[in-house]
Structure 1
């Protein structure tokens, strides 16, 4: 292990948030780099993924996954390089993706790692458009919305890591794609760079009227990342037999209530609403990731990244993500 640092840094969950996430919920620690046992791999993380689901894990409330333990490395996807190996499958120098969390380095038994090919697409994309967010978009669109040419699809958080991919997949399928995003800059990006047909700025204060104007033929499919007022406005525009893929509820991450005022339309329009957790559908990952990688390599899907520098910047970047400050995928660059 010559040339490998003797210590590394990590960020742990120091206290559970009461309301909005705050800096004091985290703690930066320095630890010794452990010796490897047979079958283990030491990885130097290059990028750390920050994602909205982490907010739910920080709570002790019952959810679809176990809570993030206190005083342990914060959960998170990583992309990095093998720097030492006692595992025959992984060689020093290879790039790998895993769930090593908010840390400069990590040890893995190799079971949950996957090798990453950086010859056609950048390493960072494996945490975004060709990673978990991209798969959430791919699965929700293809397996739940099943939208085709001529259908109108509404995507909330349209400038985010998931929503931006959903909209482009829908456009490639021949759909009319309408985004919902916060602020004129994001809406301009969604339309001019990503190719959405329209984008509604929910911060402008006219969400329902603006969405109605952007969906003159109603809405056939909704990809929901936000909930609350966004979902209500979209439900108001649904056509008969509309489908809703419920991927996220960012509007309620700090414990806010999210009543659905237009729930009667679920019945009147015979709407199918299905929530999903992408890690429960691993059987689709190989197909989905292969398709996404080809689309990215061929420049058929565009992406944008917001990058914070250094591990210590992760908490502030995460708080910004929850407030919608990011464009596209939020990453932390560690090296």
Structure 2
């Protein structure tokens, strides 16, 4: 008898309650599984063996109580926590998916996943003409990189010579957004939470960067963005956004991607400088990548794999080993401890 252990939600937790606790709010559930006897059929055409899975901060939003409405519904208690996963097809009832082939699917944090018939359109077969490492398809080509690409190009609408500031710049989204912005001729400024991360940003080509734990964002932005800010790629929210509003140029664009400083904050930050939105005619656009990427998917996969294969887009990973390490990984992401894109390796390739 094999196993199909999973990371499940045990108790809802709202943002004002702080960080989720491993064991109390979510954790590993051991589940026996008879792989040999498992059958695929019309209702569940694929059985996947999950190999690499993404660890992303948006999962925290799905852990809140159902009374809080968001762009994705809250998870049910006892539900395996889903996230984008690179998996191998181990059993198939449809000829276009061969056993042994690899796909990306919202499998979740478990060892094996049955794909229901109504979710087959979400299964993405892997095309790998550049022979990239498999983890690339949930890492450097995964959802955070898609967020950076779509957010910058199609929400920020950058122009050469403009100044862009990116918060959480060494994270999964920021490291890609910064490199793409630099390639488009922008002056690129970033912030991160350690001197090691700042050094990495300089290696990636950032023109300037600061450690927000050592220097106030209110002091750093006027110093590093002397011409003001034309585009802000928002990943953290709170006081950082307030400082950006004061340093933004007229008609600046704010790409509202995330607000990680507020996801576990018992005392949510209240914006003080919001009147700047009016007086500077600012545009703030929140976007959800899963709503936009279908419009640009062909363009994205035509351009990005080539950049990675040619070494023109560098990407740093923080890889956790084993299914049981995922809760620790999520807490680390929420606390800003990760350095690069957080992934977990559930099984060998």
TM range (shorter): over 0.9
SS in 1 for 2:306: helix
Pairing 1:284–2:288 present: no
**Aligned counterparts of 1:46 and 1:65: Cα–Cα separation in 2:** 25
- What is the aligned partner in structure 1 of residue 41 from structure 2? 37
SS in 1 for 2:343: strand
Pairing 1:247–2:254 present: no
1:87-111 Cα distance to aligned partner (Å, 9 max, x none):
1110011110000100111111432
Pairing 1:62–2:69 present: yes
SS in 2 for 1:279: helix
Q: Is the Cα contact below 8 Å between 2:20 and 2:26 reproduced in 1?
A: no
When structure 1 is superposed on structure 2, of 116-125 and 296-305 the one drifting more is 116-125
- What is the aligned partner in structure 2 of residue 13 from structure 1? 9
- What is the aligned partner in structure 1 of residue 95 from structure 2? 88
- What is the aligned partner in structure 1 of residue 225 from structure 2? 215
When structure 1 is superposed on structure 2, of 215-224 and 21-30 the one drifting more is 21-30
1:203-226 Cα distance to aligned partner (Å, 9 max, x none):
114221122111111111000010
**Aligned counterparts of 2:193 and 2:273: Cα–Cα separation in 1:** 22
TM-score under structure 1 normalisation?
Answer: 0.95
SS in 2 for 1:200: strand
Q: Is the Cα contact below 8 Å between 1:135 and 1:289 reproduced in 2?
A: no
Superposed displacement of residue 148, structure 1: 1.6
From 203, 206, 213, the counterpart of 1:196: 206
- What is the aligned partner in structure 1 of residue 268 from structure 2? 257
Kindly report the root-mean-square deviation, in angstroms, between the aligned alpha carbons of the 2 structures. Answer: 1.4
Superposed displacement of residue 71, structure 1: 0.1
From 273, 276, 283, the counterpart of 1:272: 283
- What is the aligned partner in structure 1 of residue 163 from structure 2? 152
Which ranges in structure 2 are unaligned for 5 or more consecutive residues? none
Q: Is the Cα contact below 8 Å between 1:134 and 1:292 reproduced in 2?
A: no
Superposed displacement of residue 6, structure 1: 3.7
Which ranges in structure 1 are unaligned for 5 or more consecutive residues? none
SS in 1 for 2:172: coil
Matched positions, count: 330
- What is the aligned partner in structure 1 of residue 326 from structure 2? 314
**Aligned counterparts of 1:201 and 1:262: Cα–Cα separation in 2:** 23
- What is the aligned partner in structure 1 of residue 22 from structure 2? 23
Superposed displacement of residue 119, structure 1: 4.8
- What is the aligned partner in structure 1 of residue 184 from structure 2? 173
Cα distance change of structure 1 residues 333 and 173 upon mapping to structure 2, 3 Å threshold? same
